[in-house]
């Protein structure tokens, strides 16, 4: 065959491939693929090849030995100190090395959060009791994210000199309790993350066809047996999703390790390695190798969950339409559990968020009770150069990222929903997986790619031009899934026949999209954009690792981290940081109000 004939055959092949798409769809596909490949896939690939190229494979063997993995652990689980007729009980932890500490702690947080989340989800979905609506609101409060400060409130409750230590001493009980180190970190993370499991499991339980449980009851299954053999197995997709997200969040969390002064976990090692690197050439191998471990765990979990949930979907769609979940009045024992265990635990889980406000509006909180109401901390944020500049940076970055997110999410959701071709599945995966990719790992990959790789010296190089543009790109990729899911849900409610009718009448694809589709899903787009805005403003891991490369371009959460790590327990800056966190909390509450009450949309929390 001649070159001319070969060229014609290639042209015909591409014509057949691209025939179903018009120009606008091709632009959407190209933009989605380019954005995800450049700012998601390429950084992760750079992270993958960095150990062999920059470090050397032989170097990796050190990560199988102390201080990364320690078989002969040292330390004590519990210490009992007797002094002057008083007993102090200190719950601590034994050190198994950076990597094992991280996996053990994350596993325990996941187990505890899963047990609590499943229990409360079952109570909320299957029992009808006075105060249920109040409890429904209360379980959401622990998910209101206040970067760093909620963990410091947990430290104030459990740590040395905390309420658990001081109150028994003041009451003359002769003992005090201290939870510190990894034990305190595990407890604080459990308080923060269990509602994620609850929301996922609750969502699964209310979707179960009531006839399935009724048939099981007719065959003799009652009580715990019904729950164990029918309700729980049908809820396992939600359990798996919630538990997996909790494990990943615990693994990369920075707030609890900082508050309880735990340095021997992977998240702290990564941040310390990046912060101590003056140039990318001096980047410590810890940042690369530990980030690679994190992202490997995240990707394996995501792919396994995607396949597992796909296999389990039959359980939720036995029949069409909607139904009212089965509920019953609780018995005496169940009421005791609800009012004496569940309500107190949920109220206890709310204390970090309430403590944030206490810190923000008081002069100091050194003893059991805070003292001195003040607004000076808020005034300082708006008058001092550093925090006001950081707040302004965050607003600019969040606004720019959300503007790009709307375009990216609308493009990817439209292609996946309307064009079920071979490209739809890869785009769907790329648009969803940022939700579970650890921010520390992605940030490390972005630094390697744009600070040392082929893009070194470009405007995206954080060492040459500052981190602003790279932060916007990172925010866009990491927080786009929230808007993508909102847009996709809106598209599912708009029948394709409306577009087909417009196209048959001669309207172009672009005119159909902008005059019919977007107006019909406008509320979904707007609510998704609001949610993404909140999560960009509260984003921590990427903000710290990339943002602190240049303090002048650092976002608000990076400055909060800088203030908190500047002294013991936050030093004198904890009240100021709490005021900053209160501003982020206010934005979250505003978004919840807009999406739930004004826009009549369900607020899409993480993992739901």
Q: What is the pLDDT of residues 461-500, one digit of tens each?
A: 998 899 999 999 999 999 999 999 889 988 888 887 888 7
**Does pLDDT of 607 surpass 50?**
no
The highest-confidence range among 77-86, 140-149, 541-550, 569-578, by mean pLDDT, is: 541-550
What tokens does 456 get? 């070194």
More confident residue, 167 or 239: 239
Q: What is the pLDDT of residues 205-263, one digit of tens each?
A: 888 888 888 888 888 777 788 888 888 888 888 898 899 999 999 999 999 999 999 99
Give the C-alpha distances (Å, rounded to integers) separating 9 from 19, 22, 107: 15, 21, 56
pLDDT score of 606: 43
More confident residue, 155 or 50: 155
Per-position DSSP letters for 571-606, written without gaps between them: GGGHHHHHHHHHHHHHHHHHHHHIIIIIS------T
Contacts of 198 (CB under 8 A, 6+ apart): 116, 117, 118, 120, 121, 124, 139, 242
Among residues 443, 594, 438, which one has the least CA distance to residue 529? 594
CA atoms of 576 and 578, how far apart (whole Å)? 5
**Chain centroid to CA 184: how far?**
21
Neighbours of 346 (CB within 10 A): 22
Neighbours of 386 (CB within 10 A): 15
Expressed in percent and rounded to 5, the helix, strand and coil fractions of the chain are 75, 5, 25
CA atoms of 182 and 102, how far apart (whole Å)? 9
**What is the CATH number that goes with domain 21-62+376-608?**
1.10.3720.10
Reported confidence tier of residue 315, pLDDT bands at 50, 70, 90? very low
Among residues 538, 553, 545, which one has the least CA distance to residue 271? 545
pLDDT score of 52: 57
**Contact yes or no for 47/444 (Cβ under 8 A):** yes
pLDDT > 90 fraction of the chain, expressed in percent and rounded: 42
**Does pLDDT of 375 surpass 80?**
yes
Name the residue ranges covered by the structural domains of the chain.
Answer: 21-62+376-608, 75-374
pLDDT score of 17: 47
Helices (H) and strands (E) in the chain, counts: 29, 7
**Does pLDDT of 123 surpass 90?**
yes
> Strand runs (DSSP E) across 52-114, as ranges?
74-75, 78-83, 86-91, 94-95
Q: What is the pLDDT of residues 5-49, one digit of tens each?
A: 555 555 454 444 444 567 888 889 999 999 999 999 999 998 888
- The mean pLDDT value for 107-120 works out to 96
Tell me the backbone φ, ψ of residue 213, rounded to 5 degrees.
-70, -35
Q: Please work out, in degrees rounded to the nearest 5, the angle formed at the alpha carbon of residue 120 by the alpha carbons of 114 and 123.
A: 140
Map residue 127 onto helix, strand or coil: strand
Per DSSP bridges, beta strands 175-179 and 86-91 are: parallel
Q: Is residue 503 packed enough to be buried (19+ CB in 10 Å), middle (13-18) or exposed (0-12)?
A: middle
Residue 494 DSSP class? S
Reported confidence tier of residue 318, pLDDT bands at 50, 70, 90? very low
What tokens does 330 get? 């609780």
CA atoms of 478 and 536, how far apart (whole Å)? 9
Q: Answer yes or no: same fold for 21-62+376-608 and 75-374.
A: yes
pLDDT score of 58: 58
Reported confidence tier of residue 122, pLDDT bands at 50, 70, 90? very high
Among residues 80, 75, 377, 114, which one has the least CA distance to residue 241? 114
**What is the CATH number that goes with domain 75-374?**
1.10.3720.10
Burial 228-260 (b: 16+ CB within 10 A, else e): eebbbebbbbbbbbbbbbbbbbbbbbbbbbbbb
Q: Which residues pair with 177 in a beta bridge?
A: 89
CA atoms of 158 and 80, how far apart (whole Å)? 16
Q: At what angle are helices 42-50 and 439-451 packed, to 10 degrees?
A: 80
pLDDT score of 134: 92
């Amino acid at each position: 065959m001649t070159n001319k004939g070969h060229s014609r055959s290639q042209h015909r092949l591409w014509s057949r491939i691209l025939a179903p798409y018009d120009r606008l769809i091709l632009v959407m596909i190209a933009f989605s693929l380019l954005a995800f490949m450049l700012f998601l896939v390429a950084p992760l690939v750079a992270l993958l090849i960095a150990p062999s190229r920059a470090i050397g494979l032989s170097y990796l063997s050190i990560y199988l030995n102390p201080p990364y993995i320690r078989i002969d652990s040292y330390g004590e689980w519990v210490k009992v100190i007797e002094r002057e007729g008083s007993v102090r009980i200190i719950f601590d932890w034994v050190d198994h090395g950076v990597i094992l500490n991280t996996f053990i702690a994350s596993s325990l947080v996941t187990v505890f959060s899963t047990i609590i989340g499943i229990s409360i989800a079952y109570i909320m979905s299957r029992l009808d009791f006075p105060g249920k609506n109040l409890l429904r609101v209360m379980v959401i409060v622990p998910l209101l994210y206040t970067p760093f400060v909620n963990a410091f409130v947990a430290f104030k409750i459990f740590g040395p000199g905390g309420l658990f230590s001081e109150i028994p001493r003041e009451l003359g009980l002769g003992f005090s309790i201290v939870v510190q180190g990894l034990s305190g970190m595990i407890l604080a993370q459990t308080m923060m993350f269990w509602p994620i499991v609850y929301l996922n499991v609750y969502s699964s339980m209310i979707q179960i066809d009531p006839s399935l449980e009724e048939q099981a009851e007719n065959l003799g299954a009652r009580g715990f047996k019904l729950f164990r053999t029918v309700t729980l197995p049908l809820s396992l997709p939600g359990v798996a999703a919630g538990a997996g997200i909790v494990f990943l969040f615990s693994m990369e969390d920075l707030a609890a390790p900082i508050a309880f002064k735990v340095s021997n976990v992977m998240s702290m090692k990564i941040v310390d390695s990046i912060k101590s690197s003056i140039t990318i050439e001096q980047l410590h191998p810890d940042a690369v190798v530990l980030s690679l471990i994190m992202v490997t765990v995240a990707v394996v979990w995501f792919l396994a969950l995607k396949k597992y949930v796909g296999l389990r979907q039959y359980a939720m769609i036995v029949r069409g339409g909607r139904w009212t979940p089965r509920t019953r009045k609780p018995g005496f024992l169940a009421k005791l559990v609800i009012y004496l265990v569940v309500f107190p635990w949920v109220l206890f889980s709310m204390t970090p968020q309430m403590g944030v406000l206490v810190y923000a509006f008081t002069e100091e909180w050194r003893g059991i009770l805070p003292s001195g109401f003040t607004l000076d901390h808020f005034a300082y944020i708006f008058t001092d150069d550093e925090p006001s500049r950081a707040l302004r940076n965050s607003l600019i970055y969040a606004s720019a990222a959300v503007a790009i997110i709307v375009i990216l999410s609308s493009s990817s959701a439209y292609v996946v929903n309307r064009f079920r071709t071979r490209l739809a599945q890869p785009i769907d995966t790329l648009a969803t997986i940022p939700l579970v990719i650890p921010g520390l790992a992605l940030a490390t990959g972005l630094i390697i790619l744009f600070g040392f790789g082929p893009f070194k010296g470009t405007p995206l190089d954080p060492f040459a031009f500052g981190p602003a543009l790279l932060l916007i790109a990172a925010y866009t990729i990491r927080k786009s899934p929230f808007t993508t899911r909102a847009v996709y849900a809106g598209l599912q409610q708009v029948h394709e026949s409306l577009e087909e009718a417009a196209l048959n009448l001669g309207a172009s694809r672009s005119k159909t999209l902008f005059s019919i589709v977007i107006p019909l899903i406008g509320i979904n787009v707007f609510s998704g954009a609001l949610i993404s805005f909140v999560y960009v403003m509260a984003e921590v891991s990427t903000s710290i690792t990339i943002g602190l490369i240049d303090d002048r371009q650092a976002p608000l959460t990076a400055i909060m981290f800088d203030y908190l790590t500047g002294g013991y327990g936050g030093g004198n800056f904890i009240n100021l940081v709490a005021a900053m966190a209160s501003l982020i909390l206010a934005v979250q509450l505003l978004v919840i109000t807009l999406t739930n009450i004004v826009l009549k949309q369900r607020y899409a929390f993480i993992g739901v």
